[in-house]
Amino acid sequence: MIAIGYILSWRKWFDESSSRLIAKLVTQIALPAYMISTITHDFTAKKLLSTLPDLRFPVLSMLILFALAAVLYRVMQIKEQHRGLFESMFLNSNTVFIGLPVNMALFGNRSLPYVLVYYMANTTIFWTLGVWLIQRDGTTSEKFNLKTTLGKIFSPPLLGFIVGVLLVIFHIQLPQFVLTDCQYIGGLTIPLSMFFIGIAIQRAGIQNVTIDRDSLGVLSGRFIFAPVLMTLLVLPMPVPVLMKQVFILQSAMPVMTNAPVVAKLYHADEKYAAIMVTETTLLSLAVIPLLMLFVKSGLIT
């Protein structure tokens, strides 16, 4: 599906406005419907509530990664104008456009609560700590806006998740035609996400990929330090094996696609952010299958 999106973009079926439209359809329409449909159909209140304490693992992992990024910034002599972007991209991952379809393909709907728990932590930290770090790189005088930040945190996917949880907890049954509509619309989530990735790779241009200290630092964070740290955190804990597997995969996803957008808003180096989205997304095509083999090998218990 990624290849189809790439080829169709190369053949000029999609342009920049098409990419933005697909992103909106996924995040504002398809994904919230998918949350409501899947949660109300496949989960109980007890199961959902039992996953909330698991938030401590992704939150702790990202805080440790933040401290590690601050150290590596000096050790690897990252450019000063890239410090905030480097630290933000080092600790946050793309948990929706890539993380969700990867986990759905590997584990099915039963992985959804753990995917969403990681998504909640990742989204909150990106739109608070991550945005503040990127703002430090910028040359604009625009200030951190709490109202805008809360709007980003409580995004349509998270609101869809919350609605689904409330429906299950309070045993509210939606009309069948509404649930059917949510199921059909939610079915767009994974294929459109895959198309979006293919389009993003093609539009970014593989020729723009560069390897230097600044990019190697982010690559090491996304694909080495993050999954290794998460493995060390969850492996000895008496929690479900599926949760461990999902969290390890989610931790090693590429750089968030929002990073270049935020960098542009605050006049930071959006080109650096866009190149890192491209590089980490391309490399993830090789890294994710290897991680899949690892988490399914029986070593995670």
For the stretch 255-265, pLDDT in tens is 988 888 788 87
Distance CA 144, CA 123 (A): 16
Given this model, what pLDDT does residue 285 score?
Answer: 81
Using an 8 Å Cβ cutoff, are 37 and 174 in contact?
no
Determine whether domain 2-295 maps to CATH 2.60.40. no
Is the CA virtual torsion 193, 114, 280, 137 positive or negative?
positive
Given this model, what pLDDT does residue 69 score?
Answer: 94
The most distant pair of C-alpha atoms in the chain lies apart, rounded to whole Å, by 58
Given this model, what pLDDT does residue 145 score?
Answer: 64
Output 268 or 300, whichever has higher pLDDT: 268
Residue range 154-172: average pLDDT?
Answer: 83
Residue 149 reports pLDDT greater than 70 = no
* Minimum mean pLDDT range among 32-41, 97-106, 138-147, 211-220: 138-147
Token digits for 247? Answer: 């969290």
Task: Give helix then strand counts, H and E, for the chain.
Answer: 18, 0
Output 301 or 5, whichever has higher pLDDT: 5
Given this model, what pLDDT does residue 73 score?
Answer: 92
DSSP, collapsed to helix, strand or coil, labels residue 239 as coil
Given this model, what pLDDT does residue 146 score?
Answer: 64
Given this model, what pLDDT does residue 141 score?
Answer: 56
Using an 8 Å Cβ cutoff, are 249 and 104 in contact?
no
What b-and-e string marks burial along 173-185, b requiring 16 or more CB atoms within 10 Å of the CB?
Answer: eeeeeebeebbeb
Given this model, what pLDDT does residue 70 score?
Answer: 93
Output 260 or 181, whichever has higher pLDDT: 181
Residue range 176-196: average pLDDT?
Answer: 87
Output 38 or 227, whichever has higher pLDDT: 227
% of the chain beyond a pLDDT of 70? 93
